[in-house]
Amino acid sequence: MKKILKFLSLTFILVLLFAGCGGKKETEETSAETTKEKVLKVAIDKDATNLNPVFVTDLTGEMFAANIFDTLVSYKDDVSKPAPGVAEKWEISEDGKTYTFYLRKGVKFHNGTELTAKDVKFTIEAIMDPANAAASKQYLNDVESVQVVDNYTVKFTLKNVYASFMLLLGSPQFGILPSEYIAEVGMEAFDRDPIGTGPFKFQEWIPDDHITLVKNEDYFLGKPNLDQAIFRPIPKAEVASVELKSGGIDLASSLLPQDIMSFQSDSNFEVQQTPGLSFQYVGFSAVQKPYSDVRFRKAIYYATDFDSAIKGIYGSTGERAYSWIPPVVFSNDKEYMKSKALPYDEAKAKALFDELKAEGVLKEGMEIPILSPQDAFRSKIATAMASSLVKYGFKPKVQTLEFGTLLPSTEDGKAGIYLLGWGSVPDPDRWTYALFHTDAGKQNRSKYSNKVVDEALVNGRNTADIAKREVEYVKAMRQAIGTDYIHIPLIFKNINVVHTNKVKNFKPSPQGYIYLYTPENNVDIQ
C-alpha cells in the first residue's frame, strides 16, 4: 500500500511539473505573439532613384520623402487645404508677397537635434542652389528672400504673387532638411542615408531589392502603429498580384485590371479606389529630327489606335486623357481638347509619312526607338505603337528600361519617343510649368519651347484670380497639346490599392503615395 501511495505521489508531482512547463511555454508564446513586430510589406512598381528630397524627381521618391520628412504645411489628409506641418500657424500679407511661418517647438530630427528656422532656410536655399540641380528649383524663381526671424519664425518674401505657393511648400520635395547633419556628411551621402523629422526613419536600402523604414517613436504628431515597413520594387504587375495572394506582400497598387477584379471577389482582400492625380503620356523630342517635326508627331498619333489600346490595356483603371490638367483641377478644357485629339486614320498617317520621306526627313527602314518603363501598362502601349509603325516601312524598337536608366535617357530631348507619367497637387501650375516652360529644367524632357506657352504659364502662376488663371492655362494647353502635339496624353489613372484584410486604417492618396501615418490615418496590421 505504501508503495502504491508513493508511486501515486510521484506521478502527481511529475504531472504538476510537466503542466507547469507547458503553462510556461504557453505564456511565453502568448507574450511573443503580443510583442510581435508589426511589419507591413509593400510592393512598389519601381525602385527609388533618390531619397534626398532635393534630388527627388519622381512619385516613388516623393512617397518615401513624405514618410521620412515633414514639410512646413501638410496636404496629406486633404489636398484642397493646408494643415499645420512643422509650422503650427502662418500669416500671408495683403499683397500676397510675404509669408511668415511660426514653427512648432521641440520637433526633433531622427538624430535628436531640434528643427529650427535655420533648417527651413537651408532647405530652400539648397533647392535654389544650381550646384544641386534640383528639379524643384524652377518653382522658386519668384522667391526673393528667406529670412530667419528667430529660431521658430521664418519669413518668405516673393517678387510676385505666387498662387500655388502654399501647395508648393507642402510638397514632399520640400521636406525640411537637417542643416548641421548635412554640413557634416554632404548632400550626396545624405541621399543614401537620409534623416528627417517624419513618422518613419530610414533603415536600409538594398537597390532593386527593398527599402526598409522603421517607426519614429518620438514623432511629434503621434506614434505610428507600424513598427516597420518594407518596400519591394516589383515592376511586373502580374508578379505583384501573385506575391499578394501568396503573402509575400500585404499591399500593392498599379495592378492589372483583371487582377483587381479578381481581388474584389476575394473576401481576404480589400480593394480601395480614389480619383487620381496621376497621369501617363507619350512624349516627343522637340530638338531632334524627325521627332521635332509636328508632321511626324501627328503621323504617329494617326498611326496608332490609341482609344482602343488605352481601353484594352488600362480597362477601368482610369479616364482617357486629352490634356495635361486633370478633370478635378480647374481650367478643365476637356471638350475642346478632345476635339483636337487625332483619330486612328491609316490614310492620313501614310500621307504624312510619305511627305516626310519625299523630303528626306524620314528614310525607308529607319529605326525608331520607343523608350518605356517596365510596367505592364506603358510597355504595352509602346508595343502597340511599334506594331503600327511596322506597316509604314519603319523598324520600331521598344526599349523597356528601369527608371534609373530611363529618366537620364529622357532628359534634354535625348529620347525621340518616350512614355512617362506625372502626378502632383491639384493646381494647374504644378501640371504645366515644369513640363512646358522653356526654362523649366530637366523635367521638360522634350526641351519644348514656345513663347505663347511660356507667357501663359508665367501669367497663370503670378495671379491669384482663378478666372484669369484659367484663361492662361487653357491657352497653354491648346498650343502645346492641341496644336504642337508635343505630347500624346494617355490616361488620368484612378488610384487602385489592394491589400489584405490584415491591413487597417489605410487610405489611398490621389497622388498614389503610400502614407504610413497621417493625423487621420495611422496604418496598422493585425
Q: CB atoms < 10 A from the CB of 62, how many?
A: 21
Determine the pLDDT at residue 466: 87
The stretches in the chain having pLDDT less than 50 are: 1-33
- 408 and 294 in one domain? yes
- 363 and 264 in one domain? no
Q: Do the domain assignments include residue 65?
A: no
- 99 and 84 in one domain? yes
- Residues 62, 282: Cα–Cα separation, whole Å: 22
- Residues 436, 454: Cα–Cα separation, whole Å: 8
**DSSP assignment of 50-108, as one string?**
--STTT--SHHHHHHHHHH---SEE-SS-TTS-EESSEEEEEE-TTS-EEEEEEPSS-B
- 507 and 480 in one domain? no
Phi-psi region for residue 445, left (φ > 0), alpha (ψ -120 to 50) or beta? Answer: alpha
Q: Which of 180, 195, 210 is the last residue of a domain?
A: 195
The candidate with the shortest Cα–Cα distance to 516, out of 67, 83, 42, 197, is 67
Q: Do the domain assignments include residue 8?
A: no
- 155 and 83 in one domain? yes
Sign of torsion over alpha carbons 299, 438, 46, 258: negative
Determine the pLDDT at residue 10: 43
Q: Do the domain assignments include residue 56?
A: no
- 452 and 348 in one domain? yes
Determine the pLDDT at residue 370: 98
Query: What total number of domains does the chain contain?
Result: 3
Determine the pLDDT at residue 277: 87
What CATH number has the domain bearing residue 349? 3.10.105.10
Q: Do the domain assignments include residue 28?
A: no
Percent of the chain beyond pLDDT 90? Answer: 78
- 229 and 148 in one domain? no
Q: Do the domain assignments include residue 257?
A: yes
Q: CB atoms < 10 A from the CB of 334, how many?
A: 14
Print the domain residue range for 172. 70-195
Q: Which of 195, 210, 241 is the last residue of a domain?
A: 195
Q: Do the domain assignments include residue 13?
A: no
- 337 and 465 in one domain? yes
Determine the pLDDT at residue 15: 39
> Is residue 476 within 8 Å of residue 453, measured between CB atoms?
yes
- 379 and 316 in one domain? yes
Determine the pLDDT at residue 441: 81
Sign of torsion over alpha carbons 440, 49, 318, 446: positive
What CATH number has the domain bearing residue 205? 3.40.190.10
Q: Do the domain assignments include residue 62?
A: no
Determine the pLDDT at residue 35: 65
- 241 and 133 in one domain? no
How is residue 479 written as a grid cell? 498650343
What CATH number has the domain bearing residue 100? 3.90.76.10
Query: Each residue of 208-229: b (16+ CB within 10 Å) or e?
Result: eebbbbbbbeebbbeebbbebb
Q: Which of 195, 210, 227 is the last residue of a domain?
A: 195
- 391 and 280 in one domain? yes
Q: What pTM did the predictor assign?
A: 0.79
- 248 and 288 in one domain? no
